[in-house]
């Protein structure tokens, strides 16, 4: 980018004042040219080099004065740059991961078991979501929020690592409640994209809300939440 192409002046009319130092410089140049210097030395060759240097330096103070006047006039014209800065904003997604921690998640068809395998998948996913807010819900026969929506990925990963069977004293599976609690965490979200990722290995065996009812609420115009169910196990 050429910076000079982006400079404007608030008072460009003041550049007319540059005529004054220009006229004075021309007058000074021609008056000095017509002045005859009388040498008082008999040996011109001896002092010729010193004379040339002295003659050239003699005009330096005057040239600096003219340059200073030109710079003052330029500053009074108030130069400004037109360079504009655009702020780039990337809107993330609000994601709630709702994880089944019922007794069936201890099955070892996935190594070391379904629960730990699910935790590994989830934590790897979280680390890739740089611009998103992530929250965590866990459920068994009941459900509760383990972590509200946050951009602090390190804290969410640590909370995932702390998940274990028995945190909820009920071995049954309330998928509808797990989804419902996740939807409640997204109620106040103002982002355009809201997602629930449901990690479960079984069928709904208990709960206050059926999975179909919770899914209908998620798809309603008031919520507009996409639900992705990931089946765990073989």
Looking up residue 170, the CATH number of its domain turns out to be 3.40.50.410
The pLDDT of residue 101 is above 50? yes
Is there a single domain that holds both residue 102 and residue 168? yes
- What confidence score (pLDDT) does residue 25 get? 78
| Residues 159-176 as b or e (16 or more Cβ within 10 Å = b) | bbeebeeeebeebbbbbb
Mean of pLDDT over the chain: 83
Is there a single domain that holds both residue 70 and residue 142? no
pLDDT digits (tens, 9 = 90+) for 34-70: 654 444 444 445 445 555 666 666 677 878 888 888 8
Question: Is 0.75 topped by the overall pTM?
Answer: no
Is there a single domain that holds both residue 43 and residue 143? no
Is there a single domain that holds both residue 125 and residue 211? yes
Is there a single domain that holds both residue 43 and residue 98? no
Is there a single domain that holds both residue 165 and residue 195? yes
- What confidence score (pLDDT) does residue 40 get? 45
Domain boundary residue among 81, 104, 129?
81
> Is the separation of the CB atoms in 137 and 145 below 8 Å?
yes
Residue-range definition of the domain harbouring residue 28: 3-81
pLDDT digits (tens, 9 = 90+) for 169-178: 777 899 999 9
Is there a single domain that holds both residue 130 and residue 221? yes
- What confidence score (pLDDT) does residue 30 get? 74
Distance CA 130, CA 195 (A): 15
pLDDT digits (tens, 9 = 90+) for 117-163: 999 999 999 999 988 999 999 999 999 999 999 999 999 999 999 99
Is there a single domain that holds both residue 33 and residue 129? no
Is there a single domain that holds both residue 158 and residue 58? no
Q: What are the residues whose beta carbons fall under 8 Å from the beta carbon of 75, sequence distance 6 or more?
A: none
- What confidence score (pLDDT) does residue 4 get? 58
Domain boundary residue among 81, 104, 128?
81
Distance CA 54, CA 48 (A): 10
Whether 119 maps to a domain, the answer reads: yes
Is there a single domain that holds both residue 55 and residue 123? no
Whether 89 maps to a domain, the answer reads: no
- What confidence score (pLDDT) does residue 41 get? 45
Domain boundary residue among 28, 57, 81?
81
Specify the number of domains making up the chain.
Answer: 2
Is there a single domain that holds both residue 113 and residue 182? yes
Q: What is the average per-residue pLDDT within 202-225?
A: 92
């Amino acid at each position: 980018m050429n910076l000079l192409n982006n400079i404007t002046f608030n008072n460009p009319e003041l550049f007319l004042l540059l005529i004054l130092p220009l006229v004075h410089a021309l007058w000074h140049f021609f008056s000095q040219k017509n002045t005859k210097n009388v040498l008082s030395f008999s040996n011109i060759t001896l002092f010729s080099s010193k004379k040339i240097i002295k003659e050239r330096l003699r005009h330096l103070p005057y040239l600096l004065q003219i340059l200073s006047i030109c710079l003052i006039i330029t500053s009074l014209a108030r130069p400004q740059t037109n360079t504009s800065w655009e702020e780039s904003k990337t809107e993330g997604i609000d994601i709630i991961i709702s994880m089944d921690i019922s007794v069936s998640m201890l099955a070892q068809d996935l190594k070391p078991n379904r629960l730990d395998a699910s935790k590994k998948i989830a934590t790897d996913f979280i680390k890739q979501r740089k611009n998103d807010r992530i929250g965590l819900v866990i459920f068994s026969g009941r459900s509760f929020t383990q972590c509200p929506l946050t951009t602090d990925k390190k804290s969410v990963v640590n909370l995932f690592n702390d998940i274990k069977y028995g945190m909820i004293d009920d071995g049954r599976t309330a998928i509808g409640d797990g989804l419902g609690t996740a939807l409640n965490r997204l109620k106040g979200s103002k982002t355009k994209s809201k997602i629930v990722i449901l990690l479960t290995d079984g069928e709904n065996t208990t709960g206050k809300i059926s999975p179909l009812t919770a899914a209908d609420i998620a798809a309603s115009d008031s919520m507009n939440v996409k639900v992705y169910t990931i089946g765990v196990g073989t």
